[in-house]
Amino acid sequence: MRLPPEKIEEIRNSTDIVELIGAFVKLKKRGKNYVGLCPFHNEKTPSFTVSSDKQMYHCFGCGVGGNSISFMMEFEKISFIEAVKSLAEKAGISLPVYTPEYDAIANEQEELYSACKAAGLFFYHNLTETSEGKFAQEYFHKRGFSNETIRTFGLGYSPNSWDSLIKHAERENIPLQTLEKAGLVRKRDDGSYYDYFRGRAMFPIFSSTGRTVGFGARKLYEDDQLGKYLNSPETLIYNKSRILYGISHAKEAIREKDYAVLVEGYADLIRVYQEGIRNIVASSGTSLTVEQIQSISRYTKNITIVYDADSAGSKAAMRGVDLILEKDLDVRVAVLPQGDDPDSFVGKYGGEKFLALLKNSVSFVDFIAQAFEREGYLKTPEGQTKAVRTIIQTISKIKDGIKRNFYIQLVAEKYGLYESLLHQELEKYIKIEKSRSEYQLVRDEIDEAQLETDTQNLNGSKKTVTTTENIPLAERDILHAMIDGGRKVTEFVFSNFSPEQFSHPYAKILAQEIHSLYETADELNAAMLIDSITETPHLQVEEIEAIKKLLTDLVFSQYELSKRWAEEGTTIIKGDAMQIARDALRTILLQTVQKKLEVNQQSMKEASKRGEDVSHYLQTHTQLLEEKKFLSSEKCFQK
């Protein structure tokens, strides 16, 4: 059985070596480390040392040493896989079940890793050894990157050619299909291929174990029309929302310093890292994700966010703070001077000043207060109220009740308010947070119940009473948005989603009626819909009443999902029906793609058991991942 390196590292990072060894050896703290009598040889004076920071052990007497996995192998006299399984069980981590299907995916992943590694070496060679690459080298040098830094991060240059990588891959016996699956080449309509990255400064993206999984590519030529940055598409080995740029370089320093510095872009990270500040990672120029926070949590529970002082930077930092607190990590914020990013700040003032900036980072309470102060809100009672409510809402993300209480005391002292009053506000937000956390489970139960109902009705096995209570929330919001937004929103929805795609029978009927009015009437409003539904001949009386109730509920209620989306960073303005429709539609389409992925996965598994070729299932898997990536991107539903 072969396990991916990422899974092994996840298990290792989830194991506290002091706790593990302490269950077998009596350890005593000495300075930063722990010491005890070596379990592998007889001794009277403790020479066996365990490092919590490094997650390693070493005996100065017999010379044995290693990590948590090697300890289990030596102590229990078991194999590597058995040790990994044992630690995974202790950490509550599930391991993949070995099947021919799993082996096929693992083999393809290895091929993609090899292709990306070969491409990275090719790009680095072009940067450092060719005349064309000198232009890109000059660009990196102008950014302040030394040759040593270029080598450390494997920076490169993709030749300004349609087939340079393709020709190199042919010499290295790398199939074009593998390059395509790795996101390195694209296929034309006529079946021929071309290089995806052309004439660009290349930033390899590494997994936490240091394997190349993708690339970020920066525009160098003015006539390049493809945007400032290009990124690898999602593949079997690259998921942008899960990858932290620089994590393979930073993880040991993060563990040692016990905090991570979080910035946005590649250049920001590299320039700061070059100054000797190694405990730094980047969100790759995207909004911080839950998966990225979970990745950091393997090495530390403390994060310092460094963001620009402008309005967009402050909002991004606030979203990041909320997500970090939700995941039970501690967060501070270091605010850069207006107009600076980490790259430019270090260029002007150097690494020592950046360290001072980190040292002077503030709590999220002070950060939010400062952000409101910059916007002029604290000059009025109304603005102060808004600031305090925003802070309380953020405090509600904290799971630790004692910690929440201390922050409430801090806010009460800062603004001269009664703690009891703030606790009342806090309880409101905690209830909201609880309902949000339960939302996904409820929605899944509703969808499963509806699927069962539809199946039973189709089979004629059972007559089920349908109600409007279990309509998926996203479907409710799409209907609501069309009613609020009129023809413009309705046109958008039906250009991307048909009435037949609604899963709930009553939602589907109402959507059909809206579509019918959209096609035949000059205007669209709820009153007209009531009439249309009432006069529909094929509906039963109870169905008409249920759909009318649904319609009136929608008209007089607020959007179901807007609060949850606001929490995730989407700005929902009351009455912004188009944005509600976009986000609700995205939710449904993503769910559909996910279900297709699961069905395809199951079909591939069954085909593999039958000994059939699974290559077309793997191709479908890749296509669905690309579709999922597109739906999650800003390009989806662009205005």
User: 324-327: long-range contacts (C-beta < 8 A, 24 or more apart)?
Assistant: 324/288, 324/293, 325/364, 325/394, 325/397, 325/398, 326/290, 326/397, 326/399, 327/290, 327/293, 327/294, 327/297
| Domain residue limits, the chain | 5-91, 100-231, 239-350, 361-453, 465-639
Q: How far apart are alpha carbons 604 and 621 in whole angstroms? A: 10
Averaged pLDDT score across all residues of the chain: 84
pLDDT for the residue 431: 76
Determine the 3-state secondary structure of 376 from DSSP. Answer: coil
| Beta strand extents in 579-637 (DSSP E only) | none
Q: How far apart are alpha carbons 480 and 553 in whole angstroms? A: 9
Could you report the per-residue pLDDT of 145-160, keeping only the tens digit for each?
A: 999 999 999 999 999 9
Determine the 3-state secondary structure of 335 from DSSP. Answer: strand
Determine the 3-state secondary structure of 280 from DSSP. Answer: strand
pLDDT for the residue 169: 96
Q: Decide which of 262 and 73 is more confident.
A: 262
Give the residue-averaged pLDDT of 375-388.
87
Q: Is the pLDDT of residue 4 over 80?
A: no
pLDDT for the residue 441: 44
Q: Is the pLDDT of residue 607 over 70?
A: yes
Q: Does domain 100-231 have CATH number 3.90.980.10?
A: yes
Q: What is the CATH number of domain 5-91?
A: 3.90.580.10
Could you report the per-residue pLDDT of 72-104, keeping only the tens digit for each?
A: 988 888 878 888 888 988 888 887 766 677 678
The angle formed by the CA atoms of residues 278, 238 and 208, to the nearest 5 degrees, is: 30
Count, in order, helices (H) and strands (E) of the chain: 26, 16
Give the residue-averaged pLDDT of 340-356.
94
Q: How far apart are alpha carbons 37 and 31 in whole angstroms? A: 17
Look at residues 259, 364, 266, 353 and name the one whose alpha carbon lies nearest to residue 314.
364
Could you report the per-residue pLDDT of 385-410, keeping only the tens digit for each?
A: 998 999 998 999 898 899 999 999 99
pLDDT for the residue 544: 80
Give the residue-averaged pLDDT of 108-130.
95
Greatest alpha-carbon span in the chain: 93
Q: What phi, psi does 258 have (nearest 5°)?
A: 60, 30
Q: What is the CATH number of domain 239-350?
A: 3.40.1360.10
Q: How far is CA 494 from CA 491, 529, 537, 581, in A?
A: 5, 17, 24, 11
- How many of the other CB atoms lie within 10 Å of CB of 541? 7
Residue 557, token pair as written in the block: 């209620």
Residue 243, token pair as written in the block: 């990858």
DSSP line for 167-197: HHHHHTT--HHHHHHTTSEEE-TTS-EEESS
Stretch among 36-40, 72-76, 605-609 having the lowest mean pLDDT: 605-609
Could you report the per-residue pLDDT of 419-459, keeping only the tens digit for each?
A: 999 999 898 888 766 655 544 444 444 444 444 444 445 44
Tell if the pTM clears 0.75, that is, is over it: no
pLDDT for the residue 362: 93
Q: How far apart are alpha carbons 43 and 560 in whole angstroms? A: 67
Q: What phi, psi does 183 have (nearest 5°)?
A: 75, 20
Q: Is the pLDDT of residue 528 over 80?
A: no
Residue 390, token pair as written in the block: 């925003």
pLDDT for the residue 38: 92
CATH of 465-639 among 1.10.260.40, 1.10.860.10, 2.40.40.20, 3.20.20.140: 1.10.860.10
Q: Is the pLDDT of residue 465 over 50?
A: no
Q: What phi, psi does 611 have (nearest 5°)?
A: 80, 20
Look at residues 112, 316, 140 and name the one whose alpha carbon lies nearest to residue 233.
112
pLDDT for the residue 569: 46
Could you report the per-residue pLDDT of 306-323, keeping only the tens digit for each?
A: 987 665 667 778 888 999
pLDDT for the residue 162: 95
| Beta strand extents in 73-161 (DSSP E only) | 156-158
Alpha-carbon torsion angle 555, 558, 562, 567, nearest 10:
180
DSSP line for 460-496: TS------STT--HHHHHHHHHHHHHHHHHHHHHHHH
Region of 91 (left: φ > 0; alpha: ψ -120 to 50; beta: rest) is alpha
